[in-house]
Structure 1
Amino acid sequence: MREWLYPIDPRTADRDGVPPTPDRYLRLAEAGRTSFWGLRAKRHIEPGDRLWVYFKLPLGQVCAMAEVEREPYEIDNDPDGFRWEFPAVLNLDATRALNRDPVLLSALSNRRPQGVGGVSDTDLVTFLGHAGMRRTG
């Protein structure tokens, strides 16, 4: 299992035309439905991996966590420029905890996250603590 930082821009709309806010992601987690996440470049994301959702400017904080259900597959003609897509479901308990106690950009070792990338061990400890989770393995 790998850990991924998944940056999104809350100043732009999601695929369904709604701005992606921490409150909205909490409501999506409460609904418990699978959603589809896009990638501009293929990553070695696999089922069971976790996405730590980083809301970029103006927030600069991690407020949600999702679990990957299937590896990315190629798609055509996405209006937002995504070439790859994969299903994941938001973890309700972790997302609730992160909404109450978000991880601020200033607490991350990577203070300039540019795209989907791996999470450092130091940042993972921080994420797990804020999400009310323990490290396994």
Structure 2
Amino acid sequence: MRERLYPVDPKSADRDGTPPPSENRCLKHAETRRPQFWGLRAKRHIKAGDRLWIYFKLPLGRVAAMADVEDEPYEITHDPDGFLWEFPALLNLDATRALNRDPVPLQDFADKRFQGVHGVSDADLVTFRGHAGM
């Protein structure tokens, strides 16, 4: 299992026009206990069994949800936001509730310079897990 930071851009809608994930929507999805589908530009970034720390870029820039990747990414047809791959991930209800109450702001990250999906540093993992009650 790899721990990955997964940034969400709140300005981007899903292919079907659904608004992008927000902190409140992620918590509501976690409560359904059904997998959600997430997009990728490059398949190599995610594998089944990985853990995602969901980073909401705007307006505050913070990690406020956590999910576990359930299956391998699969190729999708044209996406206006440039996503070529999609994968199912199940939001962890307890961790997402805890992070919703106590999100991790960007200023608390050890690694503040990142782009796209990437591995979480050991220092950030300690912080994320602490906020998630793990």
Secondary structure in 2 matching 1:67: strand
Q: Distance in 1 between matches of 2:18 and 2:96?
A: 22
Tell me how far apart the structure 1 counterparts of residues 5 and 20 of structure 2 sit (CA, whole Å): 19
Mean CA deviation greater in 106-115 or 89-98: 106-115
1:120 is matched by which residue type in structure 2?
A: S
The alpha-carbon distance between structure 1 residues 107 and 63, as it changes in their structure 2 partners (threshold 3 A), is: same
Quote the offset at 1:20 in angstroms: 2.2
Alignment deviations for residues 51-105 of structure 1 (CA, whole Å, 9 cap, x no partner): 0000002220000000000111222212221011111110000000000000000
Structure 1 gap ranges (5+): none
Q: How far apart in 1 are the matches of 2:11 and 2:45?
A: 28
Mapped partners of 2:14, 2:60: distance in 1: 16
- Structure 2 equivalent of residue 43 of structure 1: 44
Matching residue's letter, 1:81: G
Q: Is 2:106 aligned against 1:105?
A: yes
Aligned residue type for 1:6 = Y
**SS in structure 1 of the partner of residue 110 of structure 2:** coil
1:30 aligned counterpart, secondary structure: helix
Asked if structure 2 preserves the Cα contact closer than 8 Å seen for 1:7 and 1:113, the reply is no
The percent of aligned pairs where both chains have the same amino acid is 71
Corresponding position of 2:85: 84
The runs of 5 or more residues in structure 2 that have no matched partner are none
Q: Which residue of the partner structure matches residue 26 of structure 1?
A: 27
Given the superposition, is the C-alpha separation of residues 34 and 121 from structure 1 closer, same or farther in structure 2, using an over 3 Å criterion? Answer: same
The AA in structure 2 aligned to 1:7 is P
Look up the match of 1:118: 119
Tell me, yes or no, if structure 1 residue 6 matches structure 2 residue 6: yes
C-alpha displacement at 1:21, in angstroms? 1.4
